[in-house]
């Protein structure tokens, strides 16, 4: 899905820029948000096909943002993939129970791998949707 819109919610500017440029180079359209609030706003307005969400953010934490996204009808169905640096089990569990479809650890991925995983998640969602429609 080459013209899929990906929303990257990441507070660290370097991380944000790297994700943005990396995904853009692979052909995705990328929206960026600097924190949770900004992310929610953009998710409602821009209807991305996938959201990449960082966990450790100021003001509104990743989990809180995720919960807010899932509560809102407009954004509930957008698949959210956590992009974090914490390999801690409890964080993974929290994310999963809050409704994330995936959990990626930044430090163990190259940008290529990142975009591959994003593509995979998009495909998965597409399939689920088409099944749902049938």
List contacts with other proteins (CB under 8 A). 11-12, 14-15, 17-19, 21-22, 25, 56-59, 85-88, 106-107, 110-112
Kindly list the distances between the CA atom of residue 107 and the CA atoms of 57, 87, 122, in Å, as whole numbers in the listed order: 17, 10, 22
CB of 132 to other proteins, least distance (A): 35
In the complex with other proteins, which residue's Cβ is closer, 47 or 86?
86
CB of 18 to other proteins, least distance (A): 4
Give Cβ neighbours of residue 17 (< 8 Å, ≥ 6 apart): none
Count of CB atoms situated within 10 Å of the CB of 92? 16
Residue 89 buriedness (CB in 10 A; 0-12 / 13-18 / 19+): exposed
In the complex with other proteins, which residue's Cβ is closer, 107 or 131?
107
In the complex with other proteins, which residue's Cβ is closer, 29 or 106?
106
Q: Helical H runs in the chain?
A: 13-25, 36-46, 62-71, 89-98, 111-133
In the complex with other proteins, which residue's Cβ is closer, 25 or 74?
25
CB of 92 to other proteins, least distance (A): 13
CB of 113 to other proteins, least distance (A): 10
């Amino acid at each position: 899905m080459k013209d899929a819109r990906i929303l990257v919610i990441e507070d660290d500017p370097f991380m944000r820029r790297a994700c943005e440029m990396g995904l853009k180079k692979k052909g995705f359209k990328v929206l960026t948000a600097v924190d949770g609030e900004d992310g929610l706003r953009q998710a409602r307005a821009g209807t991305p096909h996938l959201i990449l969400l960082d966990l450790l953010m100021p003001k509104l934490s990743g989990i809180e943002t995720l919960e807010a996204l899932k509560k809102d009808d407009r954004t509930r169905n957008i698949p959210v993939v956590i992009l974090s640096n914490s390999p801690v089990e409890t964080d993974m569990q929290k994310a999963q129970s809050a409704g994330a479809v995936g959990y990626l650890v930044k430090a163990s991925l190259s940008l290529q791998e990142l975009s591959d995983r994003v593509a995979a998640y998009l495909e998965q969602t597409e399939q689920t949707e088409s099944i749902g429609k049938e």
